[in-house]
Amino acid sequence: MSSERRDRAVRAAVEQGLLTEEKPVAALLDVAGIRIGAAALRDAFAAVTDAPVLHAFAVKAAPLVPVLALLDDEGIGAEVASPGELALARAAGVRPERIVLDSPAKTPAELREALALGIAVNADNPQELARIDALVRSAGSTSPVGLRVNPQVGSGAIEALSTATATSKFGVALRDEGARESVVRAYLDRPWLTRLHTHTGSQGVPLALMAEGVAAAYDLAEEINRAAGRQQIDTLDIGGGLPVNFASDEQTPSFAEYAQLLRERVPGLLDGRYGLVTEFGRSLLAKHGLILARVEYTKTSGGRPVAVTHAGVQVATRTVYDPASWPLRIEAYDAKGRPRTGGSVVQDVAGPACFAGDLLAEARALPRLEQGDVIAALDTGAYYFSSHYGYNSLPRPGVHGYTTGPDDAVRFSVVRAPQTMAEIVAESGGAWPDALL
């Protein structure tokens, strides 16, 4: 998102009443930016392989039906990891052949539905493969089926998001004793098992480690195909995980950089023999969203200014609980949505929740915020406003997509309406007030 386009959107959001006393938090999505990002992903892999590539957006990064429909319009499918995410993808009109089901805990009912619809399934472990065996025997299926393997290549900077460690909960651990041989045998026993899946991690995982994990999966696919005497594995699902730069507007690393690295490190993967599936999420959306919040009060504590806003742990859960791993850039605007100018002052930007650590930014140098101003939390298009944390029964903010017309006017469309108090009461047992009496 360019700073100029962002500034226009913030001012328009204030002028058009998206941010008010009654609605003190609002999330914005840059539609043009999302389309540009989708095109960059498609172009990056088209430049390195002529084989078919399905780019399946990781729905958990933005489980919003209009977002999935927009990406579908850009040729991006959906990677789902729960019945709810599958329902969202289908509501957005994503065709079954463009959906991939991943999860380490799929129920028989989930598997049965996916196989009946023809949705691609990546099994996580041998017990799940046994379940699929029974379902395929009883009902048959056109679904492509693969097995997820953990190449155990190591951790990135954020342990919780590194999925290729020695003890990761995901996939079959390839370096465990006897595991590789058992995976090869599983494929030879199942001629319909035609995909192989790996995912090395997410934020904090360097490109070189991601490429190493993909290379390990490619080497295994080659081994299986040699053992089978034919190309049984025809598609590799290489996951997603491209990290996002949260320090500036620059989109680095890029999809093109990653695709070129794969061409250097795993050339056989891209020579046309294997179809590919990718599962990018954060890297497609993060840079194209922001959260706006009104500054309700300002004060000084211990000599340091504090701006108390309405955006905190409910929208920026990871940042609040792990600020070192998930720092957010904050931009300051005045009450009319214009960029605030003036010298920087070290201050805290606090959220509304009732605990001391509810801070979007601590000791941050910004133009001094005043009561009634607006702050923008940048790079929040993925996970932040779509994975709500209901602390203090704070409502989910409204989400609005925006476009700019030929006249430079900013136009907004509702992606998700702000949550109402009635909805909070309803989902908190409001229909059964006497249930425990």
Q: Which of 324, 354, 435, 437 is catalytic?
A: 354
- Of 309, 312, 280, the residue nearest 385 (C-alpha): 312
* Separation between Cα atoms, residue 63 and residue 60, nearest integer Å: 6
Question: What per-residue string of b and e applies to 165-182 under the rule 16 or more CB within 10 Å gives b?
Answer: beebebbbbbeeeebbee
Query: In whole angstroms, what is the distance from residue 315 CA to residue 360 CA?
Result: 10
The C-alpha atoms of residue 264 and residue 210 are separated, in whole angstroms, by 13
Cβ atoms of 133 and 139 within 8 Å: the answer is no
Could you tell me whether strands 275-278 and 235-237 are parallel, antiparallel, or unpaired per DSSP bridges?
parallel
For 24, residues 6+ apart whose C-beta sits below 8 A from its C-beta are 293, 294, 296, 309, 310
Q: How far is CA 110 from CA 32, 97, 135, in A?
A: 35, 16, 11
As to burial, measured by CB atoms within 10 angstroms (0-12 exposed, 13-18 middle, 19+ buried), residue 127 is exposed
Q: If you count them, how many residues does the chain have?
A: 437
The whole-angstrom separation of Cα 305 and Cα 297 is: 11
Residue 84: count other Cβ atoms within 10 Å of its Cβ: 12
Question: How far is 238 from 255, CA to CA, in rounded Å?
Answer: 13
Which residue from 108, 60, 117 is spatially nearest to 90, judged by alpha carbons?
A: 117
What's the token pair of residue 203? 């934020």
- Burial code of 398-436, b = ≥16 C-beta within 10 A, e = fewer? bbbbbebeeeeebebeebbebbeeeeeeeeeeeeeeeee
Helix, strand and coil content of the chain, in percent to the nearest 5, comes to: 35, 25, 40
104 is catalytic: no
DSSP code for 371: T
Side chain identity at residue 64, one-letter code:
L
Query: Which 8-state DSSP code applies to residue 437?
Result: -
Q: Name the helix (H) or strand (E) containing 289.
A: strand 289-301
Active site residues: 354
